[in-house]
Amino acid sequence: MHVGHLVAAVNARHELTLDRVLLVVANEPWQKAGSRPVTPAADRLALVEAAVGGVEGLESSAIEIERGGPSYTADTVAELEARWPGAELNLIVGADAAAGLGSWERIDEVRTRVVLVVVNRPGTAISAGPGSPLEGWDVRMVEVPALEISSTDLRDRVATGRPLDFLVPMPAIHVIRERGLYSVAR
């Protein structure tokens, strides 16, 4: 969880006048399984909780962790609909994730149940025109400043002892240090 995620969340909340934005922590991120080590869900949840603590309108969510098993957005959307009947659900994703929606499990279920909010940074925008991966979606676009921050780079920074200051909220940095996350010797 880095400041780029927070910038996207607060800008989407503001632009669309959303009551709240849930930052959902995947239990088992099925698209990453086997491709690289995945930090335990409890540690990722602690990072998100630390990062959003005190940020108005942002909340961490353990809905997928509590459900267990692989985390599929279709299951999460169905559960959120059951918890808040009649609420308009917005799925906020970056342009990179939006480009890969076709690979998601049961994506047609998700398409019929949510407004898709695509966060575009300068240089990474995706269009919603004909032939686009966004064709057929109810789409809202939100522009955010270009912040060149990657989770891969941040993990490498920790492993090599470089600073995270101003890239990651200080409370999340404390969680990383306390739990010994991402260091070479874990």
Question: Would the pLDDT of 184 be above 70?
Answer: no
Angle of helix 41-52 versus helix 170-179 axis, rounded to 10: 150
Distance CA 64, CA 79 (A): 10
106-165 tens-digit pLDDT? 999 999 999 999 998 877 767 777 778 898 999 999 999 878 888 888 889 998 999 999
- CATH code reported for the domain at 3-179: 3.40.50.620
65-107 tens-digit pLDDT? 999 999 999 999 999 999 999 999 999 999 889 999 999 999 9
pLDDT of residue 33: 66
pLDDT of residue 169: 92
Angle of helix 41-52 versus helix 3-15 axis, rounded to 10: 60
| Domain locations along the chain | 3-179
Question: Would the pLDDT of 167 be above 50?
Answer: yes
- With CA atoms as reference, report the closest residue to 22 among 104, 80, 78, 72: 80
* Burial of residue 54, with CB atoms counted within 10 A of its CB: 0-12 exposed, 13-18 middle, 19 or more buried: exposed
pLDDT of residue 133: 85
Tokens of 30: 């099925």
Compute φ and ψ for 174, nearest 5 degrees: -60, -40
pLDDT of residue 34: 67
Do 119 and 144 meet the contact criterion of CB atoms below 8 Å apart?
Answer: yes
| Range list of H helices, 16-72 | 41-52, 63-67
Cα atoms in the 13 Å half-sphere on the side-chain side of 15: 17
32-76 tens-digit pLDDT? 766 677 899 999 999 999 999 989 999 999 999 999 999 999 999
